Structure 1
Amino acid sequence: MERGWTQQELSEISGVPQPTISQIEQGNRKYPTHRNIQKIAKALGVDIKELDDEMDCENY
């Protein structure tokens, strides 16, 4: 998903902390929470399934 946003902009729009977004993007956060993926999907205007399919998520 490319929107041309910075991590900080995505953080502000989604409510997910910027360091968390950075870790997810770099693959350093192996199991992002379902809740964070939900927030990011909503901010990007995509179905959560699109992001869930690309990542392993912990359901909490």
Structure 2
Amino acid sequence: MEKGWTQLMLSEKSGVPQPTISEIEQGNRKYPRHESIRKLAKALGVDIEELEDENEDIITL
């Protein structure tokens, strides 16, 4: 959200399918593949740890 990107834009920049990004954001995919998270973090310019909720180990985009 901070970058003003849509899910489609993030998908294009990361190589992670847009439906996967949607499922992660909605909490329907609590344990996404490490490779997907690595790609998302790289596209967003953040460390993987920044995408994890320290209390629940849930990915937040």
TM-score category by the smaller chain? 0.7 to 0.9
Query: Residues of 2 paired with 1:47 and 1:5: CA distance?
Result: 18
In the alignment, structure 2 segments of 5+ residues that lack a partner are none
Matched residue pairs, number? 56
Corresponding position of 1:23 = 23
Runs of 4+ off more than 4 Å: none
Q: Which amino acid aligns with 1:17?
A: P
For normalisation by structure 1, the TM-score amounts to: 0.82
Partner of 1:30, secondary structure, is coil
Report the Cα offset of residue 48 of structure 1. Answer: 1.1
Corresponding position of 1:8 = 8
Q: Which amino acid aligns with 2:4?
A: G
Q: Which deviations, in whole Å up to 9, do the C-alpha atoms of 1:35-58 show, x marking residues without a partner?
A: 10100000000011111x32447x
Query: Residues of 2 paired with 1:11 and 1:45: CA distance?
Result: 14
